[in-house]
Amino acid sequence: MDPKKMSAAGLDTQAVWAGETGPFPFGAAVMPIVSAATFAYEDLTTWQSVATGGSAGHIYSRNSNPTVAVLEDKIAALDGVEAAAAFSTGMAAISSTLFALLSPGDRVVSTKDTYGGTNVLFEHFLPRFSIEATLCETTDASAIEREIARGCKLLYLETPTNPTLKIVDIERLARAAKAHGAIVVADNTFATPINQSPAALGVDLILYSATKFIAGHSDVLAGLVSGRKDLVKQIHHFREIAGATLHADAAYAVLRGMKTLALRMARHNSNAQAIAEHLSRHPKVTGVYYPGLPTHAGHDIAKRQMRGFGGVLSFTPRGPFSAIKTVLERLEFAQLAAHLGGVATTAGPPAVTSHVELTAAERARAGIPETLIRYSVGIEDPADLCADLDQALSAI
């Protein structure tokens, strides 16, 4: 198919078709799992031509693999960018991006509210290689602009944030970073390409834990980076050497999940909105964090830069830490798990899930209450989820 026709198609259509227009080997209707570790050649001339980039093909699956390549094409199409690379996990995509692009003496500007693992990279691992990371108040755009102006190689954003659902103004900060020659990177895990298009707002590289909404069925770990071809090429090369590649089996599971990504996100969005509104009226709830609520501090920016507000919300039940134990253990339609983005609802306190690596003091500094429950709304009937929350909250 003409690539222009694909990029003009709606996101629902691209979720099904992008990267998968075929024809596939053996006349298969879907891209098969090419489980081969390596690719064999009958003559040295062809092998050499592929190995030196003279003709298309695959040599060894740590470097490239046909099933993985289809996944890379699909995410690049959905994000409206030139290229993509797939990794074994979201953290592999994030750490490979940072280590591929940064050198000793470089400076990163980011925010306090990035995913816990990313925060550990900034606070503990990058400094070991003499790479400084300055972490600003997440919603203080002026402070972030001031730090960018002091000079930085890379601006790293995440929005909505995990787990307090803060919203960062991507377009404003990307503009500031570009004016100072910095690379702009954004973790789009919570929004997915269905709810947010960071490249259209000035982002150079988009990161995903594809383990979450992108794959959507809680049965595979994967990470993706998509964006500018020159940068993706460097990251892809780092992956070849560092080796955190994605297996074809996992790529297939992600591809199958992605065909329903647009459908699932529409339901995640409407379910989360209904539950956030329900909880914000609930007498046993003291706070609800969801960008779809008009009372949310980032609501106006979210309305501007997102097409939907996503499937994750957080809330604080009335009472001490023991109250969240009561509520969580009584929930029947929620798995207590360190996970989000699946078709089944999952819930857990960041203190034992996404931010378990941080000390209580570090969580407090990041503005994460110890009594916060992160609730990733699945695609169930919202009336059942509200009733389940009501019966659990009634016990406190």
Ligand X SMILES: Cc1ncc(COP(=O)(O)O)c(C=O)c1O
* Residue number with the smallest Cβ distance to ligand X: 90
Considering only CA atoms, which of 263, 244, 396 is closest in space to residue 317?
396
Is 60 part of the annotated catalytic residue set? no
Query: Which residue of the set 12, 60, 62, 330 is catalytic?
Result: 62
Nearer to ligand X, 284 or 314 (CB): 314
CA 277 to chain centre: 25
Nearer to ligand X, 95 or 273 (CB): 95
In whole angstroms, give the CA distance from residue 107 to residue 105.
Answer: 7
Query: Do β-strands 312-317 and 285-289 pair in parallel, antiparallel, or remain unpaired?
Result: antiparallel
Nearer to ligand X, 188 or 271 (CB): 188
Closest CB 75 distance from ligand X, rounded Å: 14
Q: Which element (helix H / strand E) includes 309?
A: none
> Token pair for residue 210?
């594809």
Query: Which residue of the set 107, 153, 212, 363 is catalytic?
Result: 212
Nearer to ligand X, 113 or 169 (CB): 113
Closest CB 215 distance from ligand X, rounded Å: 9
353-to-92, 151, 186, 369 alpha-carbon distances in Å: 18, 34, 22, 13
Whether omega for the bond prior to residue 294 falls within 30 degrees of 0, making it cis, is: no
Query: Which residue of the set 187, 239, 284, 374 is catalytic?
Result: 187
Residue 387: how many other CB atoms lie within 10 Å: 14
In whole angstroms, give the CA distance from residue 372 to residue 355.
Answer: 11
Nearer to ligand X, 91 or 173 (CB): 91
SS3 content of the chain, % helix, strand, coil (to 5): 45, 15, 45
Closest CB 283 distance from ligand X, rounded Å: 31
For the stretch 162-198, what's the b/e string if a residue is b when 16 or more beta carbons lie within 10 angstroms of its beta carbon?
bbbbbbbbbebbbebbeeeebbbbbbbbbbbbbbbbb
Name residue 136's beta-bridge partners. 111
Is 62 part of the annotated catalytic residue set? yes
Closest CB 89 distance from ligand X, rounded Å: 3
Closest CB 359 distance from ligand X, rounded Å: 19
Query: Which residue of the set 73, 79, 115, 153 is catalytic?
Result: 115
Q: What is the binding site for ligand X (CB under 6 A)?
A: 89-91, 115, 117, 158, 162, 187, 189-190, 209, 211, 221, 223, 354
Nearer to ligand X, 192 or 271 (CB): 192
- Give the up-direction half-sphere exposure of residue 263: CA atoms within 13 A in the CB hemisphere: 10
Is 252 part of the annotated catalytic residue set? no
Catalytic site positions: 62, 115, 187, 212
